[in-house]
Chains A and B, each alone.
Chain A
Amino acid sequence: MSLSAAVSRSDERVTDPGRWELFRAVGSVTMVAPPAGDRIAASLGLRPFSASEHTDLFVLSLPPYAGIHLGPEGKLGGEGADRVAGLWRALGLDPPSDADHLGSLLVLYAELGEAADHSKSDRSRQRLDHVRAALLWEHLWPWVPGYLDAAAEEEGAAESWVHLSRRVLRRETLLTPGASTLPLALRAAPKALAADIDYEDLLDTLTAPVRTGFVLTYRDLIVAARSLGLGLRRGERRFALKALLEQDPSATLTWLSNHARRWAARHRCRPTVLADPSPWWEERALHTSEVLKILARRAEEVMPT
């Protein structure tokens, strides 16, 4: 064997480039609205989103930002987003304004995988692989399964995209060495819901997934209002939730407690991986459910029907 051949052989890592392309394509679906994104969806064999379906899912109902799902406020930006931006900075990259958007993270994941494949030294390849694993375990896996569960309840084209995304991510957890500890976002998560919480804090908490263990979409509130026979006010979720609580606090809190229990079951049903965050989410959702039950009882005592 010639030296050049040996070098060449050692320089290459054989990975199917399609592995990374899938991440880029699945991520791009979240960022590119139809009709511009139709070509990507078609290539993935997905049912194409209509413009309104795409907007409903990725803009209005479930904006796919890590900051919303892992941040203590459950809002855009803040600590949840900063943590993700730190990864970009650690890579020597300027974090884009939407650094914690699911699409950005999946495209970055693909770029890291490709960069490692093309890397000429084992050391840099190992570094890139390490960063990619950190991206998966610290910034994607802690929240994306829950996000996909919520997205699966949306109507229309979301279903096929959710299904494919689950498969792609799930496979990646099998191919990528796992972490031995819970991700930092969950280890450093704010305390769970307490029964002595005040009203305004309760409203903030119920819309912050990392504090409750569940995702509460506007669509969920529509279901709640219908099932409870309450009027639904249009507006942001906190506003609509407040209106429901003011109309019938006990029934609304009970519905929310059941909602938390349903989410606990979802978390429990996910396949197990090493250092799996799902049990953490399940535990938090169960805890939330119990506290909400207490609050519902108190509300009933204060405002008997």
Chain B
Amino acid sequence: MDHNDAEPDLDALGHRVSVDRASTEARGETFYPGASKYLLAAFPPKERWDDWVELDSRAWPKRVEKHAMLVPTTCFNCESACGLLAYVDRDTLQVRKFEGNPEHPGSRGRNCAKGPATINQITDPDRILYPLRRAGARGEGKWERVSWDEALDAIGSRIRKAIIEDRQNEIMIHIGRPGEDGYTERVLASWGVDGHNSHTNVCSSAGRAGFQFWTGVDRPSPDHANAKVIYLISSHLETGHYFNPHAQRITEAREKGAKVIVLDTRLSNTATHADYWLATQPGSEAAVNLAIARHIIETRRYDAEFIRRWFNWEEYLAECRPDLPGTFEAFEEVLAHLYAEFTFEFAAAESGIDASVLAEVAEVVAGAGTRFSCHSWRSAAASNLGGWQVSRTVFFLAALLGAVATEGGTFPNAYNKFVPKPIHTPPQPGVWQELSWPLEFPLANNELSFLLPHFLADGRGRLDTYFTRVYNPVWTNPDGLSWMEALTDEDKVGCSVALTPIWSESAYFADYVLPMGHASERHDTHSYEQYDGQWIGFRQPVLRAARERLGETITDSRQVNPGEVWEENEFWIDLSWRIDPDGSLGIRKYHESKAHPGEKLSVDEYYGWMFEHSVPGLPARAAAEGLTPLAWMRRYGAFEITRGQGAVFDQPVPDEELLDVNIADHGRVYTAAPKPDSTNIVPMGAPAPDDAGRRAVGVLIDGVVHRGFPTPSGRLEFWSSTLARWGWPEHALPGYIRSHVHPSALAPDQMVLLSTFRLPTQIHTRSANSKWLDELAHTNPVWVHPSDAVRLGVDRTGDLVRVETEIGFFVAKAWITEGIRPGVVACSHHMGRWKLKGQSEGIGGMMATVDLERDSSGWSMHKRESVKPYQSADPDTARIWWSDTGVHQNLTFPVQPDPISGMHCWHQAVRVRPALAGDAQGDIAVDTVKAREVYQRWMAQTRPAGSVSPDGSRRPAWLLRPLKPAAAAFAIPDVGP
């Protein structure tokens, strides 16, 4: 084509470039650097990750080169698991900084402030570097350094003794942030212990419950990037919570013209970017959702064909309206009547939002079609009696529109998450932990963790060995002083072990404090729903990977971590061997090498096996670059397995899975064919088999067996047979439950305190030793609307107010702002960290020193000393310019368990007044006797399994449970006469 003999032929030249590009990319290197495939402006090309050169800015004007190895890991400062790249200095082999990992499919190289701040955590002068054992009384603050062997032997022998003596229920691990999906659960299962306890019932369990009752999966996966309308309920993942991967996709959608609707009493970050900010009365969100649903139904904008196929309307009519013909037309008529009461005027009266605004928003939602993405996670769902109906009614909107697992719609998270099957899978434990899963809450979505001190006080049991793992129950939970009372009582908690990178209010009351690594010092795998695809991310000790690149062999993360900081995976393997050194208890085999029987399982073998056998596509991808799957993950940190899962529920079931089929009422299909092996063990509901033991395989629709949903009916459960049959028939449909802080429940001088929102730059206890984050956010004033400020006599921002709850009060500064609805005050968590006088260790930038006293009227806390500059190995600690660290309001909240979801209902009915003479910022008073009374009052609302269980079991077996015991353990014990 190009015939100039003196010059290379253009076709040949083009071919040469194509070949060069293909061979370069096959090696995992970048041919076209610069703007990446994710439109980042620039990032270090992969082929230069072994020796990335930057100029030392401090050496300017000299050009001094700094060489670094770039090693990927996964952020550990929230659960979204964004990719990080550690810049490991080649000269010092220390981490110099963290930036985003452009190879990560979820975060795409972008991070929030918490990611780069990991460098503060690993260099924190106050961090815990060595195993410590209590030397004085609990809480006295005296410690002695012990070896890991001493600690492991002592703890291991306690656990061994408890297991041998059938006291499995005296062992508990209380988790703050799960590091790896299911890892700790499997450790406990290998011990035969039902001891997993999570923080979820003070976090997201009510939000989860609403989704689970619909779909059998307890998290949504909104495809924000492709949505036409994005509908978010307060304190969803995308706002103060965190979730940069969602936030960046919402931004993309907005650039394409998507409308964002935010229901939030408070002007959140997301609300500031919303097209519609609805500052609803707290607890009214479900009423607003149902008014929108009514509009969609009334104007017949719903996707009738989707509803006909996928709602369990036939079951609903048969069970609840046997008087009507079992036709879809009859259901449509019922549907119109069911929600007739939820007019815009009704919702306006409940929410305080003008009916015309609600009508406008409803019209926007109705016009979204199948591109409607929605999310509800914490505040509204997590704060109100019946809050789980908030997420149930949010998903109702998506379901009405047919926007389920559509492009731009809302997916069950199980479609967009991959949990690789591990090398060992121990059986389910044969015991049931009553302290976490009491009979009063048969439908609880997660463990009743925040009630533990009260259950111990009830005499329901005791704990021999109690681990907290990246968790600070005294500070995080409501009624923290009851926690302190429990943790200091050795009759209730025999041995308390804190697995933590940093000091915390709970670690002070532990018997052992064992140092665990931060994001760049430990192994985990992660996968989260962030778009319609599945990926896994790898967290790793980056100095280990860096040294291995240099040819060293590392076998234990302590070899590269500071001091004697360890990681949990290696810790649990070692501890399990000490519990069962000779294998006679049947525990050791689950922590043993397959390649070298009789030897401990190494993390290399654990992850090497997982990546080789359980992650489709990864071995081939790695082989193309001449790497093992483990080496590939150590090099790149994340792998995308699939993209475009689509509507999995709609897929036909292959013929080979349909054997000796039983088609039950309403089309539920059961098969005798075994379940095909899957290497993805993502959690989802487990519908019961039929009477002949056939497994639920799908649902028959229009003559075709489709996969369906993991619910009892196989369909979307508009009507929940589970709620109906387990004592709550009045709430079996998506509905509205008036909150415990509904205006009708408040005294004239009471207001609602909204306490569940977060500051996006902080994350509970973990981030409190990140100096950059502390400088950005270090206090939590009480938000007060100007009209309330006038009424309450609060003159100006900064004035102290006293906020009185049912069991005490706290004193904080007021922030007068129109960013909060009148009649409501708000105060964020994360703040108010404290340490007792006499405890020298602490978190310098965030932890005030306090006096904590107890007398006949209860507990009182007074700040003795504010934070201030101090000298340390980090020169920045001498530059702390702030002294206000906020108030620990959670101490003053009684426990308020929702009787269905088990979620703590965070909102408080409070009285607010100007501070009294003698009040000081951060002061707290709590009466734990009153706290007990409130606990008992809320417990009286429950409907225990013993009275409502339809089948003699403690809990519907199909519902999710992080660690599910064997079937026999589900039976309600015969307590005798």
* Whole-angstrom CA separation of A232 from B24 in the bound complex: 47
Do A18 and B32 form a contact, CB below 8 Å, given A94-B255, A168-B10? Answer: no
Q: Does B33 contact A (CB under 8 A)?
A: yes
Interface pair B14/A171, CB less than 8 Å apart = no
A8-24: which have CB < 8 Å to B?
16-22, 24
Q: Does B256 contact A (CB under 8 A)?
A: yes
Of B1-9, B171-179, B458-466, B834-842, the one contacting chain A is: B1-9
B residues less than 8 Å from A96 (CB atoms): 35, 39
Report A34 CB to chain B, min CB distance, Å: 11
Interface pair A16/B24, CB less than 8 Å apart = no
Of B15-23, B573-581, B900-908, the one contacting chain A is: B15-23
Do A43 and B16 form a contact, CB below 8 Å, given A18-B11, A94-B255? Answer: yes
Q: How many residues belonging to B are interface residues under a CB distance threshold of 8 Å?
A: 25
> Which of A17, A18, A31, A167 is the one whose CB lies under 8 Å from B35?
A31
Q: Does A118 contact B (CB under 8 A)?
A: no
Report A184 CB to chain B, min CB distance, Å: 26
Q: Does B331 contact A (CB under 8 A)?
A: no
Do A21 and B33 form a contact, CB below 8 Å, given A39-B20, A94-B256, A167-B2? Answer: no
Interface pair B7/A18, CB less than 8 Å apart = no
Q: Does A45 contact B (CB under 8 A)?
A: yes
Q: Does A44 contact B (CB under 8 A)?
A: yes
Q: Does B45 contact A (CB under 8 A)?
A: yes
* Whole-angstrom CA separation of A28 from B30 in the bound complex: 13
* Whole-angstrom CA separation of A66 from B582 in the bound complex: 76
Report A303 CB to chain B, min CB distance, Å: 45
Interface pair A31/B13, CB less than 8 Å apart = no
> Which of B1, B7, B13, B45 is the one whose CB lies under 8 Å from A36?
B45
Give the A-B pair count, Cβ closer than 8 A: 67
Interface pair B17/A44, CB less than 8 Å apart = yes
A residues less than 8 Å from B16 (CB atoms): 18, 43
Q: Does B34 contact A (CB under 8 A)?
A: yes
Report B793 CB to chain A, min CB distance, Å: 52
Interface pair A43/B14, CB less than 8 Å apart = no
B residues less than 8 Å from A22 (CB atoms): 10, 13-14, 17
Q: Does A25 contact B (CB under 8 A)?
A: yes
Do A45 and B13 form a contact, CB below 8 Å, given A32-B32, A36-B45, A39-B31? Answer: yes
Interface pair B31/A19, CB less than 8 Å apart = no
Interface pair A17/B18, CB less than 8 Å apart = yes
A residues less than 8 Å from B17 (CB atoms): 18, 21-22, 25, 40, 43-44
Q: Which residue of B lies closest to A42 (CB)?
A: B20
* Whole-angstrom CA separation of A36 from B31 in the bound complex: 9
Interface pair A44/B18, CB less than 8 Å apart = no
B231-289: which have CB < 8 Å to A?
255-256
A residues less than 8 Å from B35 (CB atoms): 31, 96
Per-residue CB contact flags for chain B residues 100-121 toward chain A (1 = under 8 Å, else 0) read 0000000000000000000000
> Which of A31, A43, A44, A167 is the one whose CB lies under 8 Å from B34?
A31
A residues less than 8 Å from B14 (CB atoms): 16-22
B677-716: which have CB < 8 Å to A?
none
Q: Which residue of B lies closest to A24 (CB)?
A: B32
Per-residue CB contact flags for chain B residues 25-66 toward chain A (1 = under 8 Å, else 0) read 000000111110001000001000000000000000000000
Report A30 CB to chain B, min CB distance, Å: 10
> Which of A21, A24, A37, A171 is the one whose CB lies under 8 Å from B1?
A171
> Which of B12, B15, B32, B256 is the one whose CB lies under 8 Å from A40?
B32
Do A19 and B256 form a contact, CB below 8 Å, given A43-B16, A43-B20, A96-B39? Answer: no
Per-residue CB contact flags for chain B residues 839-875 toward chain A (1 = under 8 Å, else 0) read 0000000000000000000000000000000000000
B residues less than 8 Å from A36 (CB atoms): 33-34, 45
* Whole-angstrom CA separation of A20 from B35 in the bound complex: 19
B residues less than 8 Å from A31 (CB atoms): 34-35
Interface pair B24/A39, CB less than 8 Å apart = yes
Instruction: Name which of A17, A20, A40 has the most chain B CB atoms within 10 A of its CB.
Output: A40
B residues less than 8 Å from A21 (CB atoms): 14-15, 17-18, 21
* Whole-angstrom CA separation of A91 from B363 in the bound complex: 29
Per-residue CB contact flags for chain A residues 143-179 toward chain B (1 = under 8 Å, else 0) read 0000000000000000000000001100100000000
Report A36 CB to chain B, min CB distance, Å: 4
Per-residue CB contact flags for chain B residues 908-948 toward chain A (1 = under 8 Å, else 0) read 00000000000000000000000000000000000000000
Report A167 CB to chain B, min CB distance, Å: 6
A residues less than 8 Å from B255 (CB atoms): 94
A residues less than 8 Å from B12 (CB atoms): 18
Interface pair A28/B34, CB less than 8 Å apart = yes
Instruction: Name which of B7, B35, B39, B255 has the most chain A CB atoms within 10 A of its CB.
Output: B35
* Whole-angstrom CA separation of A40 from B32 in the bound complex: 7
Interface pair A18/B31, CB less than 8 Å apart = no
Instruction: Name which of B12, B16, B45, B255 has the most chain A CB atoms within 10 A of its CB.
Output: B16
Q: Which residue of A lies closest to B21 (CB)?
A: A21
A residues less than 8 Å from B10 (CB atoms): 18-19, 22, 167-168, 171
Report B15 CB to chain A, min CB distance, Å: 4
Per-residue CB contact flags for chain A residues 122-142 toward chain B (1 = under 8 Å, else 0) read 000000000000000000000
B residues less than 8 Å from A44 (CB atoms): 13, 17
* Whole-angstrom CA separation of A96 from B41 in the bound complex: 11
Interface pair A18/B45, CB less than 8 Å apart = no
Do A40 and B31 form a contact, CB below 8 Å, given A18-B15, A22-B13, A45-B13? Answer: yes
Q: Which residue of A lies closest to B252 (CB)?
A: A94
Q: Which residue of B lies closest to A174 (CB)?
A: B1
Report A164 CB to chain B, min CB distance, Å: 8
Report A90 CB to chain B, min CB distance, Å: 15
* Whole-angstrom CA separation of A18 from B16 in the bound complex: 8
* Whole-angstrom CA separation of A21 from B10 in the bound complex: 11
Report A151 CB to chain B, min CB distance, Å: 19
* Whole-angstrom CA separation of A171 from B7 in the bound complex: 14
B residues less than 8 Å from A28 (CB atoms): 32, 34
* Whole-angstrom CA separation of A21 from B12 in the bound complex: 11
Report B252 CB to chain A, min CB distance, Å: 8
Report A225 CB to chain B, min CB distance, Å: 30
* Whole-angstrom CA separation of A31 from B42 in the bound complex: 11
* Whole-angstrom CA separation of A171 from B9 in the bound complex: 11
> Which of B11, B21, B32 is the one whose CB lies under 8 Å from A19?
B11
Q: Which residue of B lies closest to A20 (CB)?
A: B14
A residues less than 8 Å from B18 (CB atoms): 17-18, 21
20 A-B pairs in the complex with CB atoms less than 8 angstroms apart: A17-B15, A18-B14, A18-B16, A19-B10, A20-B14, A21-B15, A32-B34, A37-B33, A40-B17, A40-B31, A43-B16, A43-B17, A43-B20, A45-B8, A45-B13, A94-B255, A96-B39, A167-B10, A171-B2, A171-B10
Instruction: Sort A-B residue pairs by CB-CB distance and give the 10 closest, nearest first.
Output: A18-B14, A18-B15, A22-B14, A43-B20, A36-B33, A32-B34, A21-B18, A21-B17, A25-B17, A43-B17
Binding site for B on A (CB under 8 A): 16-22, 24-25, 28, 31-32, 36-37, 39-40, 43-45, 94, 96, 167-168, 171
- 19 other A-B residue contacts (CB within 8 Å) besides A18-B12, A22-B10: A16-B14, A16-B15, A17-B15, A18-B17, A19-B11, A21-B14, A21-B15, A21-B21, A25-B17, A28-B34, A36-B34, A40-B17, A40-B31, A43-B21, A44-B13, A94-B255, A96-B39, A167-B2, A171-B10
